[in-house]
């Protein structure tokens, strides 16, 4: 018999004291795992507190910084133009059309992480990501044809001439425009 098999006691050789020690050891391990899970939950909650975003009451400077629109009135005009409905994600997450557009504008305003947006928008990362994806999908499905087809009334010959004249004038004052 090898040394290894001799070191492992049979069930008959295990005393009540050894069983109690193993049980206590397992209970300590379980309590450590539970404590670590609670610490992780508390750490996450420290950064994330669910709240509603007051877009209408946000100062204009902060609104422009966060969403790249001058004010709430511009935000409302864009919301009406895009005709975004209430957002219902596949996991049941709900968001108003206003919140969906706010998530998209915040995400597209400058490079940032979902973790950074949790504090401002009051939702966790997975919810923000799902709401963003669902809103972008709706915008593309509804208005994507405007980008995929060049046969648009906005691209008339007269408007293109006006654009060329504006770029030509700007090129004299701006660096980088040929």
Residue 121 · residue 102 · CB < 8 Å? yes
Give me the percent of the chain exceeding a pLDDT of 70.
72
What gap in Å lies between CA 81 and CA 130, rounded to an integer? Answer: 22
What gap in Å lies between CA 73 and CA 171, rounded to an integer? Answer: 32
User: Helix, strand, coil: what percent of the chain each, to 5?
Assistant: 65, 0, 30
In a domain, 55, yes or no: no
In a domain, 54, yes or no: no
What gap in Å lies between CA 155 and CA 167, rounded to an integer? Answer: 16
Domains of the chain: total:
3
pTM confidence score:
0.62
Domain span holding position 8:
3-47
**Given this model, what pLDDT does residue 110 score?**
85
Token duo for residue 168: 């030509």
**Given this model, what pLDDT does residue 103 score?**
96
The residue among 62 and 28 whose pLDDT is bigger is 62
What gap in Å lies between CA 138 and CA 89, rounded to an integer? Answer: 12
């Amino acid at each position: 018999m090898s040394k290894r098999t001799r070191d492992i006691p049979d069930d008959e050789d295990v005393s009540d004291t050894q069983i109690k020690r193993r049980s206590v050891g397992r209970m300590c391990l379980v309590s450590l795992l539970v404590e670590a899970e609670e610490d992780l939950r508390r750490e996450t909650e420290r950064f994330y507190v669910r709240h509603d975003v007051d877009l209408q009451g946000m100062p204009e400077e902060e609104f422009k910084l966060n969403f790249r629109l001058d004010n709430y009135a511009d935000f409302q005009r864009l919301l009406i133009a895009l005709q975004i409905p209430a957002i219902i994600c596949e996991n049941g997450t709900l968001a108003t059309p206003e919140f969906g557009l706010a998530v998209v504008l915040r995400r597209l305003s400058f490079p940032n992480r979902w973790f950074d947006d949790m504090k401002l928008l009051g939702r966790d990362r997975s919810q923000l990501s799902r709401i963003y994806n669902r809103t972008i999908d709706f915008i593309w499905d509804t208005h994507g044809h405007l980008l995929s087809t060049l046969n648009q009334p906005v691209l008339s010959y007269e408007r293109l001439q006006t654009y060329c004249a504006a770029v030509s004038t700007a090129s004299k004052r701006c660096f980088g425009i040929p």
